[in-house]
Amino acid sequence: MVKLPEPRSGESPYLRVKDLRVRFDTEDGVVRAVDGVSFSVERGRTLGIVGESGSGKSVTSLAILGLHNAKRAAISGEISVGGRQLVGMPEEEVRRLRGRDMAMIFQDPLSALHPYYTVGRQIAEAYRVHHPRAGKREARGRAVDMLGRVGIPQPGKRFDQYPHEFSGGMRQRAMIAMALVNDPDLLIADEPTTALDVTVQAQILDLLEDLQGEFRSAIILITHDLGVVSQVADDVLVMYGGRAVEHGSVEQVLRRPQHPYTWGLLSSVPSLHGDADADLVPIKGNPPSLINLPSGCAFHPRCRYADRNGDRSRTEVPELRPAGEAGHLVACHLPADERTRLYQQDIAQVGVAQ
Amino acid sequence: MTEPLLKVRGLTKHFPVRDGFRARGAVRAVDGLDFDVRPGETLGLVGESGCGKTTTGRMLVRLLDATSGSIEFDGRDITHARRAQLRPLRQDLQIIFQDPYASLNPRHTVGRIVAMPLQVNGINPPGGIKKRVQELLELVGLNPEHYNRYPHEFSGGQRQRIGIARALALRPKLIVADEPVSALDVSIQAQVINLLRDLQRDLDLAFVFIAHDLAVVRHFCHRVAVMYLGKIVEIGDRDDIYQRPQHPYTRALLSAIPDVTTLGPAGRIRLAGDVPTPLNPPSGCRFRTRCWKAQDRCATEEPPLITRDGGGQLTACHFPETGTISQDSGPVGATAEEVSK
């Protein structure tokens, strides 16, 4: 049984995911996109989910929002949002929650916004769907207000413009305005800044943080960029091959990482500081196929330390267990003192880990 | 000092914008670049989207024709060289593309893809083409036995290696690499960066390395040119650019990068707004609309790209910054409050 980190304050977490599994049956075989993942997010806190393509991070977020096609995906486990159990909830009821209590910001605002309707109309529509008694004028006022709050100049004029008239950063702001128009308690941002330039990314990350202070929503930030996570996340979940391999506070996971995969990520990323001439230490090989996941620890074919446990890494799936500090969990067969020693010896001097 | 391998002067590319048949101005994608690349040297071309870095790369290998200016490669002016004149030149000047999915013909085997440059140029290496191709595959870390496989059988990182093998087939002197790692996952990205670094050192290749990721550029390049709206705003040795940047834009760019070494939002320079359209760039200094130091002079007079201390670091700014960026506390100089004014 996986133990969740205890919530820091007295209140119970707004989102609680327990042993979530998402499976797709395809012609080539069964894809286990998410394979037993548990975490929770409190109001006012940000959880960063990190992983490479195919690690299951986006599938997890779509499952929380109930956006998987029920005919294609088999979902099991528990997803509780504000005390309501989402897995198995009728579609009609999920729809009432989605957009009102939980909302999503997508990676590519150009494909997430409808090119045929004005930006303002789309935001107003999101409001009216959940406020059936609101009139057109009220919805417009609300949308203009939101556009202003996400930092779009001349919101009244911008309301009547189409997505193509917005720049990339402005479109992402409009997406955020749409997601926040109903004051959701849970906001899921899937790579919200990946398509943006760094100076604009910095603006959007600041904006998300300001808005969180204002709305006190729980935020899940899905990204492959460890730098982004280090700026905005309170807690971090590292995923690999559909499973959680490390979980803890941002300080624990990025400063005292325990899993060899997390080490690999940190030593792969070139840094702005430190020795620019030192070689990076990449993770050898490629991410695994989710149809044919390696036995035992899914990371073992790429792990430099897989042989240190005899056959264990190959035969036994490691559970997520306490890594020492309170709230820090890791799924690795290496003994704790061995992990500390290897980290100091091999990793601590390389890439952004230094 | 060695003669530069690549000499670019006043390089300009304007894309005409038509309104029906009438010309309606031009997108000034690249507007007067001057830079040199010496043999065996790597120059990083960095900037945000729309700054003209990709257009520049394409002009260098003559996939696009320059509107004006000149490109001199290995002592020859290639700005207007014709197809037939270009062919021998292509042996020395190769390109690696960003998207490893779109830049390989899906109907050709890897062997055929990598052999193509040799065949097109009528080169028959000792031991035959197949042997040379297998050597190349091995050089970039692929299994030579995969000669007969098709691109779809490879992962993104492996495909990028195929593109690199193809670029190396003719033993070029200069490779233009356009965002060669930005489409790859981080763990794979590091593999490809290390590969390019090894090849650069072992084969003494010169690179023009186009990227938006300044941390990647820092790990690969000897010199760095920072572009903004079609112009170079600052160029210099790597350590000068990263430790003692003089142009406010360079400082802002460096400061905007979320770095894992700092947790939480650090004291950063925040630029307001977006990059203006290159259709109608601001007068004077193009960065002035987002610059916190801008004054009247910046709107009327375009700052020349000149050295401040007689060294190799050139900056196009009327009010350049001085001082070193401290290693841990972010940039010295402007604070967030100053910027928001």
Q: Tens digits of per-residue pLDDT, B275-331? A: 888 888 899 999 999 999 999 999 999 999 999 888 889 999 999 988 887 544 333
* Paired tokens of A229: 């996570």
Disruptive mutation site among B48, B187, B287, B289 for chain A (greatest number of A CBs within 10 Å): B187
Q: What is the pLDDT of residue B266?
A: 62
| CA–CA distance, A245 with A261 (Å, rounded to integer) | 8
Question: CB B190 to CB A276 under 8 A?
Answer: no
- CB-nearest to A203 from B238, B253, B270 is B270
Contact of B10 with B56, CB cutoff 8 Å: no
- CB-nearest to A272 from B212, B215, B270 is B215
Q: Tens digits of per-residue pLDDT, B101-139? A: 888 999 999 999 999 999 988 888 888 899 999 999 988
* Paired tokens of A290: 């989710």
Q: What is the pLDDT of residue B331?
A: 38
Q: Which residues in chain B are contacts of A266 at CB distance < 8 A?
A: 260
Contact of B36 with B4, CB cutoff 8 Å: yes
* Domain assignment of residue A239, yes or no: no
* Sequence-distant (≥ 6) Cβ neighbours of residue A96 within 8 angstroms: A130
- Among A182, A214, A233, identify where a domain stops: A182
Q: Which residues in chain B are contacts of A206 at CB distance < 8 A?
A: 265, 270
Tally the residues of chain A: 354
* Sequence-distant (≥ 6) Cβ neighbours of residue A125 within 8 angstroms: A117, A139
| CA–CA distance, B185 with B6 (Å, rounded to integer) | 32
Q: What is the pLDDT of residue A114?
A: 92
- Among A182, A205, A220, identify where a domain stops: A182
* Sequence-distant (≥ 6) Cβ neighbours of residue A137 within 8 angstroms: none
* Domain assignment of residue A293, yes or no: yes
- CB-nearest to B219 from A205, A225, A276 is A276
Q: What is the pLDDT of residue B333?
A: 36
Segments of chain A scoring below 70 in pLDDT: 1-11, 349-354
pLDDT band, residue B13 (cuts 50/70/90): very high
Contact of B266 with B329, CB cutoff 8 Å: yes
Q: What is the pLDDT of residue A324?
A: 83
* Closest Cα in chain B to A348: B261
Question: CB A286 to CB B197 under 8 A?
Answer: no
Q: What is the pLDDT of residue B341?
A: 33
Q: Tens digits of per-residue pLDDT, B237-249? A: 999 999 999 999 9
Q: What are phi and psi of A239, to 5 degrees?
A: -110, 145
* Paired tokens of B208: 């023009």
> How many domains does chain A fold into?
2
Number of neighbours of residue A292 by Cβ within 10 angstroms: 11
* Paired tokens of A326: 């309170």
Q: Which residues in chain A are contacts of B218 at CB distance < 8 A?
A: 270, 272, 276
Q: Tens digits of per-residue pLDDT, A125-160? A: 999 999 999 999 999 999 999 998 888 888 999 999
* Sequence-distant (≥ 6) Cβ neighbours of residue A61 within 8 angstroms: A49, A104, A188, A190, A220, A222
- Among A133, A149, A182, identify where a domain stops: A182
Mean pLDDT (chain B, rounded): 87
Q: What is the pLDDT of residue B340?
A: 36
Closest CA to B110 of B91, B92, B134, B94: B134
Q: What is the pLDDT of residue B261?
A: 77
| CA–CA distance, B52 with A90 (Å, rounded to integer) | 51
* Paired tokens of B227: 């572009």
Q: What is the pLDDT of residue B324?
A: 85
* Domain assignment of residue A252, yes or no: no
Q: What is the pLDDT of residue A353?
A: 56
Q: What is the pLDDT of residue B335?
A: 35
- The residue type found at A294 is P
Strands A243-249 and A329-330: antiparallel
| CA–CA distance, A265 with B212 (Å, rounded to integer) | 20
Mean pLDDT calculated for residue range B17-46: 89
Closest CA to B248 of B281, B283, B294: B294
Q: What is the pLDDT of residue B318?
A: 95
Q: Tens digits of per-residue pLDDT, B215-262? A: 999 999 999 999 999 999 999 999 999 999 999 999 999 988 888 877
Contact of B194 with B163, CB cutoff 8 Å: no
Question: CB A198 to CB B253 under 8 A?
Answer: yes
* Whole-complex ipTM: 0.80
| β-strand partners of B232 | B227
| CA–CA distance, B264 with A251 (Å, rounded to integer) | 10
Domain that includes residue A276, residue range: 257-353
- The residue type found at A94 is V
* Sequence-distant (≥ 6) Cβ neighbours of residue A143 within 8 angstroms: A120, A123, A124, A127, A159, A177, A181
* Domain assignment of residue A294, yes or no: yes
Question: CB A206 to CB B327 under 8 A?
Answer: no
* Closest Cα in chain B to A280: B190
* Domain assignment of residue A207, yes or no: no
Which helix (H) or strand (E) covers residue B16, if one does? strand B6-19
* Domain assignment of residue A167, yes or no: yes
* Domain assignment of residue A292, yes or no: yes
Which helix (H) or strand (E) covers residue B252, if one does? helix B248-256
Q: What is the pLDDT of residue B167?
A: 92
- pTM, whole model, 2 decimals? 0.86
Closest CA to B131 of B150, B149, B118: B118
Q: How far apart are the first and last CA of chain A?
A: 34
